[in-house]
Amino acid sequence: MSWHYTCNHKKFIDKIALLQEYNASKQAIEFHIPKAYDNYDFSVPPQEPLESLCRLKALELRENNDKIVIWYSGGCDSHYVLNIFLKNKIKVDKLVMVKSGFKQADFEIDQYAIPYAKSTGIDFTVRQPNMAYYEEYYIGKKKMLGTVHNMWHHFRLNNHFENLEHCDTDGVANIFGNEKPTLQFIDGKWYTYFLDVAVTPQPHQINFFCDYPDIHSKQCHMLVNEIQLMKNQRDYNNITKHNENQNFWNRSIGRYNKNSFPLKLITVDNQYNNKDALAIQQAPEHLAEAWKVHKNEMLEELGGQNFNNGDPGLGTIGIFSKFYGISERSTKTVDDLFPHGYKT
């Protein structure tokens, strides 16, 4: 697998196993991304339009796989991927949508994804946990499906149903709409990087926008151009954040011209996002309390220093990849660029 960690000369995909090793060994953690990134010159903008690069990648995936399965959320990233296939008449065998089991929190799937999926005529399935699944996981302490990456521990268990260990992967391209480019402007120079918690990689998962450096580079240059044209320099490092600049971010990389997608509101009411807050409102009180017990058990095992704001419900603290120069060809680490600690 191209996306993975190393710590103490050992390779990891599971974030919890990684943190256990780190706590025991105190050796440095490295987050590795596809090797093609180390050989790619991000300072040279790709000349082809983004749509052309994506069309070629879709054709390649179709040619090299028996089946194409798109994991479709109804959000603008997976919607763009699906429409690349549809517009170019490239066959998609199946769409998979994942819900949390809480109606209030599943508005994106119910109101956007399912209606559009029906309009395409493509075979689709909806995967979701029921209340018995929540009971067995939080109260019965059973492992259940779990996740491969073990990064997120918010209340909703929808991510368990994205676990490809329990899906058909032989000859199947399981395509996810990951991930938008993140940028950093430092000392007059632009860099791009990844956080593990944004990509949430697992074996057999194809991240359509970031597995391939040419597609990623094209989006980076599109975004840099729009930022420099439209924004003040003091705001440069605030753009690739989810909430207040989300529409600008999406439009700049061609996801849409007119917003018709639900915004993803991160960290709402001290919860991971607005969907988690809605699910907790709807959930039986004993399940919400059992989840809090689950979080406390994680804190006892791993310590609060490994979670955002010391809260497992807000996810594990992100680990940086290398930083790749856009203004000029270079490769840096977070310690190279921020010797006194990372700052936005």
Each residue of 86-119: pLDDT tens digit? Answer: 999 999 999 999 999 999 999 999 999 999 999 9
Tell me if 177 is assigned to some domain: yes
Lowest mean pLDDT among 152-161, 250-259, 318-327, 330-339: 250-259
Domain around 254? 46-318
Tell me if 15 is assigned to some domain: no
CA 140 centroid distance within chain: 29
Tell me if 25 is assigned to some domain: no
**SS3 for 182?**
strand
Say how many domains are in the chain.
1
Q: How far is Cα 310 from Cα 69, in angstroms, rounded to an integer?
A: 37
Tell me if 127 is assigned to some domain: yes
Average pLDDT of the chain to the nearest whole number: 94
Tell me if 64 is assigned to some domain: yes
Structure tokens at 185: 């402007």
Tell me if 56 is assigned to some domain: yes
Tell me if 332 is assigned to some domain: no
Tell me if 22 is assigned to some domain: no
DSSP state of 323: E
Prediction pTM value = 0.95
Which distant-in-sequence residues (6+ apart) come within 8 Å of 332 by Cβ? 191, 322, 323, 325
Q: How far is Cα 22 from Cα 293, in angstroms, rounded to an integer?
A: 24
Question: What pLDDT does 218 receive?
Answer: 98
Question: What pLDDT does 258 receive?
Answer: 65
Predicted confidence band of residue 241 (pLDDT cuts 50, 70, 90): confident
Residue with token string 């105190």 = 26
**SS3 for 247?**
helix
Which distant-in-sequence residues (6+ apart) come within 8 Å of 44 by Cβ? 217
Question: Is the CB of residue 42 less than 8 Å from the CB of residue 12?
Answer: no
Structure tokens at 277: 């807050």
